[in-house]
């Protein structure tokens, strides 16, 4: 029963970590322990209430409470530092945003109707909402960049991108994955493609062309390989096929298509993938898929599945 209650109350933990990440608590504790009053002054918060937050985080091993209401980072909390390798801090700062958090509170609506919770609640999809609220787009883009870093090393170790002369990363955000590919393979050239407002924040990289646009309309032509990382899972089948067809239209004969996605996995396992699928249901309106389901989408769009290369939490699905 205690384990069940812990799961039920999981929302409390994620919100507490979200607030700490938003306030940058871990970065402020990076050098040495600090008192609640110091932290409250630095974060413009109410000291007694901040203490209640921090002692709760200490109780679950994120922080360590010391005498006189001083706090230090516990080993677990070190991962929330912005400079920590593969830090999920930006993701924690995103998931608790009220506009997105409220979509999860509308999960019951999605389960009853099959409709996307976010659109039902806000009247627009997540993409239109972030265009209207650029401050939220900034938080989201930072979270996506952080997640990209978490899987990049595994993907680069598993798949040989050096076999392709020109790689186009479609929906590549700020270009974290593509920059890592180009750094590891000096002979490769890249094209970073995403919405104009997104790629405007991308750092210039040697041997990389940056192009803004919509992957429902057109993507850069002539690449030897096209990457779609964590793109198709944002969309239902009809839209996913439309994105694939846009890539197919731009791709020269023999070019590769590389889908980097989670796989749902077998029944009774892979909880991260199953809950990511629920996140797609309430958020962007897409879904996680099995390999067979990706193969079916590819066939409709004019591609042939070649195989897959597992890479940690994700897999690289190759088609031509």
pLDDT tens-digit series, residues 83-123: 998 899 999 999 999 999 999 999 999 999 999 999 999 99
Helix, strand, coil content of the chain in percent (nearest 5):
50, 15, 30
In whole angstroms, what is the distance from residue 42 CA to residue 78 CA? 19
Residue 144 domain-assigned? yes
pTM across the whole model: 0.90
- Find all residues with CB under 8 Å of 97, minimum gap 6, and list them: 136, 139
Residue 33 CA: distances (Å) to CA of 36, 47, 110: 10, 16, 45
Q: Does 17 share its domain with 132?
A: no
Q: Are 178 and 205 in contact (CB under 8 A)?
A: yes
pLDDT digits (tens, 9 = 90+) for 132-159: 999 999 999 999 888 888 889 999 999 9
Structural domain boundaries, residue 38:
2-81
What's the order of all strands across the beta sheet hosting 305-311?
208-212, 189-194, 166-170, 225-229, 256-261, 314-319, 305-311
Residue 281 domain-assigned? yes
Q: Is 305 left (phi over 0), alpha (psi -120 to 50) or beta?
A: beta
With the CA atoms of 213, 219, 223 and 227 taken in that order, what torsion angle do they form, in degrees rounded to the nearest 10?
A: 80
Q: Does 156 share its domain with 275?
A: yes
pLDDT of residue 305: 97
Active site residue ranges:
233
Q: Does 54 share its domain with 161?
A: no
For the chain, percent of residues with pLDDT exceeding 90: 89
In whole angstroms, what is the distance from residue 24 CA to residue 19 CA? 9
Residue 226 domain-assigned? yes
- First CA to last CA across the chain, in angstroms? 50
> Taking Cα atoms as reference points, which of 65, 42, 41 lies closest to residue 52?
65
Q: Does 134 share its domain with 59?
A: no
For the chain, percent of residues with pLDDT exceeding 70: 100
Residues 299-307 have a mean pLDDT of 97
Q: Does 188 share its domain with 265?
A: yes
pLDDT digits (tens, 9 = 90+) for 186-241: 999 999 999 998 998 887 778 999 999 999 999 999 999 999 999 999 999 999 99
Q: Number of folded domains in the chain?
A: 2
Q: Does 63 share its domain with 117?
A: no
């Amino acid at each position: 029963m205690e384990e069940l209650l812990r799961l039920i109350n999981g929302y409390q933990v994620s919100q507490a970590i979200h607030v700490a990440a938003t306030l940058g608590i871990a970065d402020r504790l990076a050098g040495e322990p600090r008192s609640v009053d110091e932290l409250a002054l630095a974060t413009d918060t109410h000291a007694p209430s901040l203490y209640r937050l921090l002692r709760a985080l200490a109780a679950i091993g994120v922080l360590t409470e010391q005498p006189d209401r001083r706090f230090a980072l516990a080993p677990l909390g070190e991962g929330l530092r912005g400079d920590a390798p593969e830090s999920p801090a930006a993701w924690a700062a995103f998931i608790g945003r009220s506009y997105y958090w409220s979509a999860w509170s509308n999960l019951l609506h999605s389960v009853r109707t099959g409709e996307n919770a976010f659109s039902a609640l806000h009247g627009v999809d997540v993409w239109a909402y972030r265009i209207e609220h650029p401050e939220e787009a900034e938080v989201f883009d930072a979270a996506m960049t952080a997640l990209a870093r978490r899987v990049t090393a595994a993907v680069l170790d598993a798949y040989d991108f050096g076999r392709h002369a020109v790689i186009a990363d479609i929906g590549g955000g700020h270009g974290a994955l593509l920059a890592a590919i180009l750094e590891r393979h000096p002979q490769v050239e890249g094209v970073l493609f995403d919405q104009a407002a997104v790629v405007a924040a991308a750092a210039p990289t040697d041997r990389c062309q940056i192009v803004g646009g919509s992957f429902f309309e057109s993507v850069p032509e002539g690449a030897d390989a096209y990457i779609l990382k964590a793109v198709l899972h944002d969309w239902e089948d009809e839209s996913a096929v439309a994105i694939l067809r846009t890539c197919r239209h731009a791709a020269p004969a023999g070019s590769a298509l590389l889908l980097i996605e989670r796989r749902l996995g077998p029944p009774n396992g892979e909880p991260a993938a199953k809950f990511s699928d629920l996140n797609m249901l309430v958020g962007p309106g897409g879904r996680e898929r099995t390999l067979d389901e990706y193969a079916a989408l590819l066939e409709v769009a004019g591609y042939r599945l070649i195989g897959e290369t597992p890479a940690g939490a994700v897999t690289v699905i190759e088609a031509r």
